[in-house]
Structure 1
């Protein structure tokens, strides 16, 4: 297994540790784990492209690892009422729609590449999670409370807007997948 794929697997392996830390209220270790795992997303792609280590495993598992990490965090944040459940429903609806389209395309021998808007969506979601976790650690009496709160929820809303936009863009660009499969 090459280094980029090891980094991807490391991201997946980090998720249960992140979840346990978060559930137990150890937000700083959870934040460190989440940040480290998020950084592996950037690193594995750069290394794979630079050294021509792109594999089918990486093409499938890298975006899956991102989703496992980010959506685990969002699930936890629904549990403690940091975010409303409808936001995750919107995110998951987009993901299931695109996964379905990719499956249909693959059955027809077509690979649909990820668009830049989807990559931006993932980065915004990761930054939103990081800021929302930072928000947990800021006392309401602190002068940082209001700015951290504002930034965290601005990033969350930006990620939701980009989620919807990238989903629509994906469907519009690839609607032929459904037309061809009829």
Structure 2
């Protein structure tokens, strides 16, 4: 197993760590800034999530630069991304930090685009990640981090950044999903039988 695949695999192993600190109420204490309290569990979950999310670009860069691209890596990388985002969203829904429908929209888009890619592969086509899909991932990560930190530091000045960021993530996610299907509609067109 090459270095790029090891980094991707590390991202998969960090997923349960994020969930553990988000969902289990460890009594590790908290820190308070101007009346806004954040538990150390939330801080740990956020730091681990950021580390895991940052490995996404790193593994791909290493694989391309060192010519370590493998079929295993092509399979594992998007799976690791989806596991990380999905686990964080479900954990945040369970905590009551975000609306369930927002998580469903984001997760549904991931399933739909994955299905489209599988159909494309069966037809001999490869659908590469678009710039809009990369923006989608970035907006999701920013929104999740903001929610994990209970809108800190924006809560100090009364700006609902986490709510705004989650709405942006949902809108960009939908836009990205529609874009994939519009640009790749030939892949899913049914062939007429004569």
TM-score, length-normalised on structure 1?
Answer: 0.89
**1:32-71 map, 5 Å:** 32-71=47-86
Q: Tell me the CA shift for residue 81 of structure 1.
A: 1.4
Deviations 1:129-154 (A, max 9, x none): 1111111777xxx962623xx22222
* CA distance in 2 between partners of 1:137 and 1:24 (Å): 21
Q: Which entry has the higher C-alpha Rg, 1 or 2?
A: 2
Q: 2:172 — aligned with what?
A: 162
Q: 1:78 — aligned with what?
A: 93
Aligned residues: 177
Q: 1:144 — aligned with what?
A: 156
Q: 1:175 — aligned with what?
A: 185
Conservation of the 8 A alpha-carbon contact between 1:27 and 1:136:
no
Give 5+ residue unaligned stretches, structure 1. none
Specify the SS of the correspondent of 1:62.
Answer: helix
Structure with the higher fraction of residues in helix conformation: 1
Range with greater deviation from structure 2 (78-87 or 127-136)? 127-136
* 2:4 is the counterpart of 1:4: yes
Structure with the higher fraction of residues in strand conformation: 2
CA-based RMSD = 1.9
* CA distance in 1 between partners of 2:53 and 2:155 (Å): 28
Q: 2:34 — aligned with what?
A: none
Q: 1:19 — aligned with what?
A: 19
Q: Tell me the CA shift for residue 180 of structure 1.
A: 5.4
